[in-house]
Amino acid sequence: MNANRGDLPLTIGALRRRPEFAEERLGRRSVKDEMRENLIRKLQAGEQLFPGILGYDDTVIPQLVNAILARHNFILLGLRGQAKSRLLRSLTGLLDPWIPAVAGCEIHDNPYRPLCRACRELVAEMGEQTPLVWLAPEQRYVEKLATPDVTIADIIGDMDPIKAARRGRDISDELTIHYGLLPRANRGIFAINELPDLAAKIQVGLFNIMQEGDVQIKGYPVRMPLDVLLVFTANPEDYTARGKIITPLKDRIGSEIRTHYPLSIEHGIAITRQEAWTERPSPVRIHVPEFLREAVEQLAFLAREDKRVDRRSGVSQRLPISLLENVVSNAERRALRTGEPLAVPRALDLYAALPAITGKLELEYEGELKGAEAVARDLVRAAIGRVHSRVLDGANLNPIVQWFELGGTLKLEEYAPASALLKRLSVIQNLFDHLPALGVAPGDPPALRLAAAEFILEGLYAHRRISRSEEVGYSAAERRREPSLEEGRRQGLRRQLN
Ligand SMILES: [Zn+2]
């Protein structure tokens, strides 16, 4: 098992002489046994089981481990963008580094127990000299997205008239089979995404495999007890909808495991940080402030709760990932244009990144009426408002609001140098006092201080305490709204103190 590729035996005879590859060990061991063995070893060693999968440690992963220990075929039920495919692909980490197969076999036959007729004939002819190939885990993972046009031939197989003609064989001969994806996944993992979209008769084919280990290829009298771990994904509503999955197949899926979106903003930020392409080779240095990462993630959380967004299809984690990438791009583009050495994304970059949001929202009727762009814009504003409320909780921002109420206006042009904009912001009383709450110190680069100061104003705009327009920029709120009870109380208190 810890053999490196160089000293792997290349014939059945040589294989047999190596204890770790002996027939007693490999002859009857199924892929599920193999994964179970490797999983047990990893659990005992306290190894990380699924590197790069974040936020599932206490929920999804224990259930997945149980399914594998139980040698179950299983399904992951979840909305889009919940790392289902990624989780399935990472199952290859539980396969042996190398396993032997009969050389040239399309279905990766076990040298000790070949299934296909070609291999059986080869082994009978060559005996201990039968040549081997070695398979790495990636070669043993087959994935298929189910769509209604997927055929039995795609998944199970078909007869191949060309093969028949070339070999001069009868069309009903087993050697003329063209194998589908499932037999090609023999001794490995076969993953089908969006299982409910698979036609019922193909589901029957899968059921036969799980039930009897039996493949029927277009009436061929072939019994082929394939050795496959079958794993699936589905949207929960599609999966439970009556008539989408044939009952006997459902009954044969050992475990149903529910995935989910990040349960906390922190988990979401960690996933997005890992996945988004923000550390890029670029002539400008890029720095993404934490408050902006939080706003990006908050936007996804808000979208998932929004009534205007279809909850059955969900809001993929790819939304905050693409959004952050686009936000960074806009900051990078600005810095390249203004010749500044440091690009720091600003609130306005969130608005500039609407193209990364709109396509990822499936809207309900109400949302459709409003339009994707307007919904996305609302979400940006609300996300900034949420982060603003959290980081500036309890801060007295009244002096800033008053500056505008006394007639101050301020426009932060997109392409002006950060230091020039900062200078203009410095006239607003108390504004810079709040930068430390956003994790920004007085000695930080102008671009970062600008981003933080603008974020504070943008938050006041989100809370409708000041206005913002294309022409004048930030200004006093158009009409005084009724102060909330809390604010009214605070104002009353201040009056008493004065
Ligand atoms: Zn074979």
Least confidently predicted of 198-202, 257-261, 302-306, 449-453:
198-202
Task: Report CA(174)–ligand 1 centroid distance (Å).
Answer: 11
- Distance in Å, CA 84 to ligand 1 centroid: 32
What are the CA-CA distances from residue 136 to residues 7, 94, 124, 284, 497 (Å)?
15, 12, 26, 41, 75
CA of 474 to the centre of ligand 1 (A): 73
CB-based contact 456:410 (threshold 8 Å): no
Tokens of 195: 């299982």
Give distance in angstroms: CA of 12 to centre of ligand 1. Answer: 14
How high is the pLDDT of residue 367? 87
Predicted pLDDT at 158: 81
Q: Which residues are within 5 Å of ligand 1 (an ion), measured at CB?
A: 105, 109, 116, 119
DSSP letters spanning 365-380: HHHHHH-HHHHHHHHH
What's the pLDDT score for residue 1?
Answer: 44
pLDDT tens profile 177-205? 888 999 999 999 999 999 999 998 889 88
CA of 11 to the centre of ligand 1 (A): 15
Q: What is the DSSP string of 271-313?
A: HHHHHS--S---SSEE---HHHHHHHHHHHHHHHH-TTB-TTT
Find where tokens 């609130």 sit. Answer: 347
| CA atoms within 13 Å, Cβ hemisphere of 169 | 15
Q: How much is the mean pLDDT over the chain?
A: 90
| Residues 193, 102: Cα–Cα separation, whole Å | 29
The pLDDT tens digits for 65-81 are 999 999 999 999 999 99
Distance (angstroms) between ligand 1 centre and the Cα of 93 equals: 25
CA 116 / ligand 1 centre spacing (Å) = 4
DSSP string, 326-356: HHHHHHHHHHHHHT-SEE---HHHHHHTTHH
Contact partners, residue 28, CB within 8 Å, separation at least 6: 113
Per-residue tokens: 493: 């208190």
| Beta-sheet pairing, 228-234 with 188-193 | parallel
pLDDT at 488: 54
Is the CB of residue 93 less than 8 Å from the CB of residue 47? no
Distance in Å, CA 3 to ligand 1 centroid: 24
Ligand 1 centroid – CA 338 distance (Å): 64
- Residue 463 has which token pair? 């809370």
Q: What SS3 state is found at 362?
A: coil
The mean pLDDT value for 42-61 works out to 95
Distance 4 CA to ligand 1 centre (A): 25
Q: Which residues on neighbouring strands pair with residue 363, listed in sequence order?
A: 309
Name all domains of the chain by residue range, CATH numbers in brackets.
54-92+138-258 (3.40.50.300), 265-492 (no CATH)
